[in-house]
Amino acid sequence: MLISDRLAQAMNQQIGRELGASHQYVMMAGYFHAESLPQLATFFFRQADEERMHAMKFVHHILEAGGPLAVPAVPAPRPVGSAEEAARLSLEWEMEVTRQINDLMALAVKESDYIGQDFLRWFVTEQLEEVASMSELLSVIRRAGPDGLLLVEDYLARRKGEAAAAESA
């Protein structure tokens, strides 16, 4: 086995947290869909997919390292009542995930699990992107205000177009 029981157990807990975040982002996407804000809905559906992918990365790592897989129960997502609340909760969540990933890395270092450390480095870098993205979204939503969410929609559409253009260049 290439993973300690302690690190495998901690990673199993992270699988549950990532799946819980995926469900929460689906709930947020549903809120935006119901509010006829398709760019925000798409943004949060994409976040939900990313969180599920993160959970699956942990699943595959644990299994490939010969550890025991134990996916925990996931609590039901809670509803959101505004765009600002969704973005604020998302930023808070991503900050918490950053702490969780750092704790996993500290455990991998303590246990001299170099394979685990290498695996977790991707998540450390990913969290910088996630926190920056949610911080920016919250800032744009706050600047637009509750009556300016169509401006946020335009912002996200332009950002998506710019990203697509950069990929094809």
- Give alpha helix (H) positions in the chain: 5-34, 38-64, 83-110, 114-144, 149-168
pLDDT tens digits, 44-56:
999 999 999 999 9
| pTM score | 0.94
Contact between residue 104 and residue 10 where contact means Cβ atoms under 8 Å apart: yes
Domains annotated on the chain, with CATH: 5-168 (1.20.1260.10)
Residue 161 has pLDDT above 90, yes or no: no
Angstrom distance (rounded) from CA 87 to CA 81: 11
Q: Of all residues in the chain, what percent carry a pLDDT higher than 90?
A: 93
Closest CA to 19 of 79, 59, 62: 59
